Structure 1
Amino acid sequence: VVRAKNPVHSVLFPIPVFRNTSGLLLFLGLDFFAMIFPVVHIGAIAVSFLFVVMMFNIQIAEIHEEVLRYLPVSGIIGLIFWWEMFFILDNESIPLLPTQRNTTSLRYTVYAEKVRSWTNLETLGNLLYTYYFVWFLVPSLILLVAMIGAIVLTMHRTTKVKRQDVFRRNAIDSRRTIMRRTTDPLTID
């Protein structure tokens, strides 16, 4: 995404990431989230970003910087992530801490067992429509405003372009507008 020279490609590259994330959610048993994730991210966000980038009419800029310039910083960040994944999440306890706290609770918590025995959809619907209804309505209003804005931007009409009104043209009676004239032939003296 970052190294793409064309901004349209930068918008299109996250689509496989969203698709793979949806597959991962499907493997974890979150069937509703796995089906709604591509609809929201690919269908709404990626298409709106693509629309915005194409409206800007950005010229393709060449990147002249060296890639090796970012190698030390990315290497340090990669080592930190590797250290976290290997030493913290895979071990039963962190030997660096004086209290030897157990880190197995960092893996995940199954909230479905803590709530009643509802399905994923029932739990999500109960939470969304009772406790978090404001957080459900505000994004829908934001998406509504964005959709109306996109429609207004694309329906911009200029007055400099001559257009014909098709319905007015078809409503004209051709017998009144087309006149047949007869002319006398030329006479040469």
Structure 2
Amino acid sequence: MKTILKAVALTAAIATVPTAAFAQKAPGAVIVTVDTRRISAECNACKTAATQLQSQAQQLQQFAQGLGQPIQTEADAIQKALAGKAPDAAMQTRIQALQTKQNQANQQLQQREQTLRRNQAYVSQQINDKLRPILTQVMNARGANLVVDRGDVLDASSTLDVTTDVLTQLNTALPSVSTTAPAQAAPASR
């Protein structure tokens, strides 16, 4: 019985302690906004990288066309030679050779597309690696504890926008980026 009374007394004592004693109050939000689209469009390294990546994409497209033209020419010739006839042994060999060329071309294109995507991701990584500390520094300088992308905000005072400060610091800290990602390491064998 005494044990039950002690448990009831303890429960009553805990219930009377204010819950604020158990949890710290979160500080009020001091917010700044940054326009990441503007940073991407205006940062010097970003503009240079975008031009170089566009050039890489155009080279890939030209490479694809260079691979595709002879394959298409051969496919048209085979189609014309068949003209509704069943292929003989020589034609079957020619068809198989064409399929092999198509597969090889597709593999080459996939490798180059992967390289382009890896280069794009590497550019983003380099920019983000420099951008994050700059955002923290600008946030701290403004006494803010939260930064929000301007594109995610319905409306905000222009005095909250720190994009120009961030852009200025990013241009200084990151004059250029590499648009060629380091080669991927070969997977370790077990």
TM-score by length of 2: 0.23
| TM value normalised by structure 1 | 0.23
Structure with bigger helix share is: 2
Higher relative contact order (CA 8 A, sep 6+): 2
More strand per residue: 2
